[in-house]
Amino acid sequence: MQRELRRYENRLVVIGSGMIGIGLWSLVKVILSLFMDERVANSIKESADDMISEALILAVLLIIVVLVVGWHLAIGLSARSEGYGKRSSWAYLVSIALLIAFYIFSMKAEIDEFDTVSEDPIEMVISLLIDGSVCVTLAELFHAAIRVKLYRRKLRKMEAA
């Protein structure tokens, strides 16, 4: 049982690090899209009537990106912490489940708009593949976290007996 516990703790550390990387990649991707992709810049300019509206749209977008990055960081850091033997609350498991739901709804929205968006279909397929692999990674993280909690509970009961 100790061996299995160590294996799942190691998974938590590795996948938690990956979640931190995914969060940082999301930030880089949005920043690059804003500054390098003319379609994104034109879309913001078209939807804004004046400079104040444009600044407001960018501010809201920045807040959303910071929240998403923070969400990934919190999950990744919590998973790493638990993987290194510290106890964590069940709240981060709920957060993982909510993030999985967020990615699933995001993927469904992308699939629904596949025919109507003038974006390159290759980019959309790549985006769907990345989102799908993040969902699988989050599911593995969820599974490992639950296993660690169960193994630790069993070990505490065995030590108490």
Task: Tell me the domain boundaries of the chain.
Answer: 2-160
Report CA 73 to chain centroid distance, whole Å. Answer: 8
User: Mean pLDDT, the chain, as a whole number?
Assistant: 85
- Digit-coded pLDDT (tens) for 31-79: 877 777 666 666 666 666 666 677 777 788 889 889 989 999 999 999 9
pLDDT of residue 38: 67
Task: Reduce the DSSP state of residue 86 to 3 states and report it.
Answer: coil
Predicted confidence band of residue 10 (pLDDT cuts 50, 70, 90): very high
pTM reported for the whole predicted model: 0.82
pLDDT of residue 58: 75
CA distance linking residue 74 with residue 82, whole number of Å: 12
Q: Residue 8 pLDDT more than 90? A: yes
CA atoms within 13 A on the CB side of 67: 9
Q: Tell me if 22 sits within 8 A of 72, measured CB to CB.
A: yes
The alpha helices in 37-120, defined as continuous H runs, are: 38-47, 51-83, 91-112
- Digit-coded pLDDT (tens) for 90-106: 888 999 999 999 999 98
Structure tokens that stand for 149 in this block: 């909690």
